Amino acid sequence: MITFTQVTKRFGNFTALAAFDLTVAPQQAVALWGPNGAGKTTAIKCLLDLLRYQGTITVDGLDAHRRGKAVRRLLGYVPQELAFYPRLSTVETAKFYARLKDASDARILELLELVDLTDHRQKAVGALSGGMKQRLALALALLADPPILILDEPTSNLDAAARDHFLSLLRQVKDENKTIIFTSHRLEEVEQLADKVVVLKAGRREHECAPEELADLIGATRQIKLRFAPDAPDDVMTRALALLHAQGYAAHPNGTGLIVTVAAGAKAAPIGLLNGADMPVADFELE
């Protein structure tokens, strides 16, 4: 169990976190959601005792400040800014942190295999790609098989393919019943990983909700591109636009299809609408 009780962190006159409360149950995955500057990273750094704060944070009953070292033994941390010793190789880096965490060489090899870095184990960390470094950070976080995983914007520096790969790794980790706290501003990450979402804004806790409620709560929208069958009538685009506008959708033609702005949690709604009006959508893609 992790609890934040009235945690406040100030940097000079700026309040990064204001009387923040949070409870995370064992084996629960909690997303801290919010824009940049909302206080997500500050909350995580307070938990790790990297920042001194007012209030109380406990992990399994241990005070995160007074028993910082014991608490960090229960945590695996994947930071947003990956800072490794560039001259060490992948395996040397893993060995150094494994010694600090009393993890075995066998565990290192097992984790490098899990994160698909076995072939890169002799490579200098400075020469690894962003995705590889992120995977290495996950492997290091898991070295001592900690019950709690802390991830700060875990996919923010990754391209789409690397992000998918990393998320699949995180789902595997979640299946091992670990408690997870992660910060994010990506809806798909929250939907795939979280059991609960805490929304922060300007250092304050604004809401707590289920992941599937987040899109509606924050009014998130996505754009989808719809295409009609090549043998569809010539006026299908015009009629479809008129219908979508009549139903309150923002839509405009784009080359061979239509771009429609939809609520993030209701992406299929305009497709259903058009299909029902005898204007079958042949294909769609997320913009």
Question: What is the binding site for another protein (CB under 8 A)?
Answer: 11, 48-52, 68-70, 72-73, 75, 77, 79, 81-85, 87, 96-97, 99-101, 144
Nearer to another protein (CB atom), residue 69 or residue 231:
69
Q: Give me the least distance between CB of 52 and another protein, in Å please.
A: 4
Give the Cα-Cα-Cα angle 226, 228, 234 (nearest 5 degrees).
125
Q: Give me the least distance between CB of 15 and another protein, in Å please.
A: 14
Torsional class of 72: left (φ above 0), alpha (ψ -120 to 50), beta (otherwise): alpha
Other Cβ atoms less than 10 A from the Cβ of 285: the count is 10
- Classify 14 as helix, strand or coil: strand
Q: Give me the least distance between CB of 136 and another protein, in Å please.
A: 12
User: Cα separation of 226 and 285, whole Å?
Assistant: 7
Closest listed residue to residue 59, CA positions, set 141, 3, 142: 3
User: Cα separation of 191 and 196, whole Å?
Assistant: 10
Q: Give me the least distance between CB of 89 and another protein, in Å please.
A: 13
Nearer to another protein (CB atom), residue 8 or residue 221:
8
Nearer to another protein (CB atom), residue 101 or residue 196:
101
Nearer to another protein (CB atom), residue 45 or residue 120:
45
Q: Give me the least distance between CB of 276 and another protein, in Å please.
A: 54
Nearer to another protein (CB atom), residue 144 or residue 273:
144
User: Cα separation of 228 and 19, whole Å?
Assistant: 52
Nearer to another protein (CB atom), residue 4 or residue 77:
77
- Classify 43 as helix, strand or coil: helix
What's the token pair of residue 153? 């914007």
Q: Give me the least distance between CB of 121 and another protein, in Å please.
A: 19
Q: Give me the least distance between CB of 100 and another protein, in Å please.
A: 5
Nearer to another protein (CB atom), residue 68 or residue 147:
68
Write down the residue that tokens 């299908």 correspond to: 236
The DSSP bridge pattern shows strands 257-263 and 204-209 to be: unpaired
What's the token pair of residue 89? 């190789």
Phi, psi values for residue 235, rounded to 5°: -90, 10
Write down the residue that tokens 């992406």 correspond to: 267
